[in-house]
Amino acid sequence: MATRLHLASAQADQQVPDASNMCFGIVVSEWNPEITGALLDGCVSTLERYGALPENIHVKKVPGSFELIYGAQQMCRNDGYDAVIILGCVIQGETPHFDYICQGVTQGIARLNATGMIPVIYGLLTTLDMDQARERSGGSLGNKGEECAIDAIKMAKF
């Protein structure tokens, strides 16, 4: 579902819990910083909009998308987080590298969710080109970071 439709639906239904007593970890990739920076901005502002205190939002950066798995795992080991959010962007190129990274990150985050006690929210954009990434990080299709923030709040309350 497009992020803008998802957010409108969530806000209309009043289904997003108060996040004022929650603590969030965010792991963000430094690769494609134009995109990941926009995702991070959308994520943080949405967490704050629903009550999360700035001092309860902890951001760590990792070099690339594959490292999001390790970063999320380390944050999950910290007992203070109610949810961890990963944010990254992989843009398809001419080699199978895209497939390996996307599959690896997806499987790694799925493993953390299946075996851990803290929800890990998947905010990895997997796009064919930079224009698609821009559209999903604040463009006409919304901002996936905002959607991830709402998902984190809901899952922390689950």
**Among 115, 21, 109, 118, which residue's Cα sits nearest to residue 68?**
109
**Cα 145 to Cα 45: distance, rounded to the nearest angstrom:** 9
Q: Which amino acid is at 156?
A: A
Q: Which residue has the tokens 């939002």?
A: 57
Q: Are 69 and 77 in contact (CB under 8 A)?
A: no
DSSP E strand boundaries for the chain: 24-29, 57-62, 83-91, 120-127, 137-139, 142-143
| Residue 6 annotated in active site | no
The residue from 97, 100, 111, 130 that is catalytic is 97
**Cα 79 to Cα 123: distance, rounded to the nearest angstrom:** 22
Give me the active site residues, please: 97
